[in-house]
Amino acid sequence: MADSSLDSLLAREWLETNGLGSYASGTVAGAATRRYHGLLVAALDPPSGRHVLLSRVDDEIVVGDKVYPLGTNLYRDAVHPEGYRLLDHFEARPVATWVFRAGGVEVERRVWMPQGQQTTAVTYRILAPKHAAGADRVSLSIRPMVSFRDFHSLASSDDPVDAGTAVALGIVVIKPRRELPALALHHSASRFEPSPLRCLDVELPEEDARGYPSLEDLYSHGVMTFDVEPGVECFHYLIASLDRFDGFSESEARVLERSELKRREDRSSRARASWRSGVPANLGDTRLEPLDRWSETFAIRLAEASEQFLVSREDGSRSVIAGYPWFGDWGRDACAALPGLALATGRWPLMHEVLKTFAASLAHGLIPNRFSDEGALPEYNSVDASLWFVDASRAALAASGDLDFARWTLYPAIESILDAYSAGTWFGIGVDPTDGLLHAGDERVALTWMDSIVDGVAVTPRRGKPVEINALWYNALQSGADVAEALGLDAHARVWRHDAKTARASFNERFWNPETQWLYDVVDGPDGDDAACRPNQVFAISLRYDVLDVARRGSVIEAVRSRLLTPVGLRTLDPRDCRYRGRCTGNIAERDAAYHNGTVWPWLLGSFCTAYLKTHGRSAAARTTVLEWIAPLSRHLGTEGCLGSISEIFDGDEPHLPRGCIAQAWSVAELSRVLLDELRRPD
């Protein structure tokens, strides 16, 4: 491998998902560094209730009298074993794949999840040459290690464990915790030996760096031994499942693997065909060679990554996971991401299904900010989630032309949202009758996307009239009017157009700061107007209905470009501001203090690119500039962080290290939207 040092292999992660909120994830080195890592992290109440069941497998290849461990584990003062030293190469697609070379034997290990099944498969292909030393005695052994715990917690040796196993041909069933479901371990081993073992004080350095407990104790019920015949490629498997307890044959395991690989190949082929068919045959002066090179590969990888966030709930409804490994389905993230996850990738029916899910939980004009992981009632503490819902609804109708869906699902929700916001609803959300602008916030909660709280106090409270909220409000009024007109409801449309006209005039009067030549971040706040240079102002240009006067756009774009733009997204605060924090590190309070005070968010780059293209007339030069801004994130997707996805955040200071969730829905979605939509519009 190009860089096979342990630190490099630990810094790169992989992710497999099943469309139910369950996942498998770890590092390229094979060692867990987070409490969220595991081979089967199952959403027991899809997509919520995630528990780490199968933590890892300790596997080793035995050649003659020599044992070659393939795994890697971290302890406080040691690394043992050091299987990463035998790693020849790793690939994240089409499934997570390691290739090891040890004692003249080649071992390929794959980890993957079949779509729609609570199952993780670990499959092996082993080639032992006939004439290698010890080739007459080659075997593979696997010791499954389990924790059976909520994915936010850690397992301890003090936890009670049921060491019992139910063993039959090709299957071992375990149930270490009474309150959790049984796990079936299907295998092609020649024998299973019950051999209880506790593995104590496994270190998780990412948790330590984040200020959390970082030592875990794991448990194993026994060891599986697999025979390897020299001179032929041997296929073996360990399939951990909550769904199936009747055993797998080798042929069934092979078919399951081929089926999943074929599904992924078909998905990639559809993405490639969509990309190529969607590129205009001739854009005249705007024809760009880069669109035929790296950007095609990047767009296809983003389309592949998009699938990981679209999930089915327990009742069959569809939703969006905001980010892996720890976020659930959030309304704001889902609605902001849907145009990139679904529309840009040609899957508008999925967009309808997700919008239906959130519309069904509408309360007082608010869609849920998030559905609880613990099965509690939805949380509604968001001012912008409902406004993003209206924007996504307009886009869904424009893409599908489905008037019935708009009439019976989208329009009632839109009307409820706009009426509730106009009259006033929870959390101090309402229209100021003096200027038609939307105000929001109270002392208890942070309602905008800049929502971090430390010790019960909002770090970036933004109470008053935030700039992007009013840009979204204007856009929602116009978008709602579009839907109303499509349904022949002209009276409602006229009212909303009138309110939009009032809001636009007030916006341009109140938010423009003539001294700085950019927009106030908040007006009418408890401490007056906030003149900080933040990225929220780009939404005044980027939304379908842009609220900012044309003459002022260039100045705003330049302020954001010169002060906030980095190779991986937009900073959340001007580095010249005394509140700026360039590293999102430390304990939770320190990270939350930096979360929106300088930390870079790649999802914002999408809106900035759209705003830039609109401001510069989608010229050839503007398109080239946008591609140059996006290119570093193509490298990120392929070489760092979670391979094949885009991180949630990056440090504001160089070298802009990835932080937060390893795979974030709107990070992927916004880049996908720009590549698959914005850059391919002829005008």
Tens of pLDDT, residue by residue over 445-475, are 889 999 888 878 888 889 999 999 999 999 9
| The predicted structure's pLDDT at residue 284 | 35
The answer to whether 426 touches 369, Cβ cutoff 8 Å, is no
| The predicted structure's pLDDT at residue 281 | 35
Buried b (16+ CB within 10 A) or exposed e, 271-281: beebbeeebee
| The predicted structure's pLDDT at residue 444 | 75
Phi-psi region of 242 (alpha: psi -120 to 50; beta: other; left: phi over 0): alpha
| The predicted structure's pLDDT at residue 277 | 72
The answer to whether 392 touches 338, Cβ cutoff 8 Å, is yes
| The predicted structure's pLDDT at residue 288 | 42
| The predicted structure's pLDDT at residue 283 | 33
End-to-end alpha carbon distance in the chain: 44
R_g of the chain computed on alpha carbons: 26
The residue type found at 664 is Q
The answer to whether 127 touches 233, Cβ cutoff 8 Å, is yes
The answer to whether 35 touches 77, Cβ cutoff 8 Å, is no
Buried b (16+ CB within 10 A) or exposed e, 290-311: bbeeebbebbbbbbbbbbbbbb
What CATH architecture is 6-249?
Distorted Sandwich (2.70)
Q: Hey, how many other C-beta atoms are within 10 angstroms of the C-beta on 164?
A: 13
Q: Rounded to whole angstroms, how far apart are CA atoms 604 and 572?
A: 9
Return the domain boundaries, the chain.
6-249, 309-680
Question: What is the value of pTM for the model shown?
Answer: 0.95
| The predicted structure's pLDDT at residue 131 | 67
Give, for 397, the enclosing helix (H) or strand (E).
Answer: helix 385-400
Q: How far is residue 74 from each of residues 7, 60, 214, measured CA to CA in Å?
A: 12, 17, 11
The conformation of residue 271, written as its DSSP 8-state character, comes to: H
Residue numbers in the chain where pLDDT is lower than 50: 279-290
Tokens 């905008």 belong to 448
Residue 121's contacts (CB-CB under 8 Å, 6 or more residues apart) are 110, 111, 112, 113, 114, 237, 238, 239, 240, 253, 256, 257
CATH class for the domain made up of 309-680: mainly alpha
Distance of CA 598 to the CA centre of its chain: 21
Q: Rounded to whole angstroms, how far apart are CA atoms 308 and 111?
A: 15
What 3-state class would DSSP assign to 145? Answer: strand
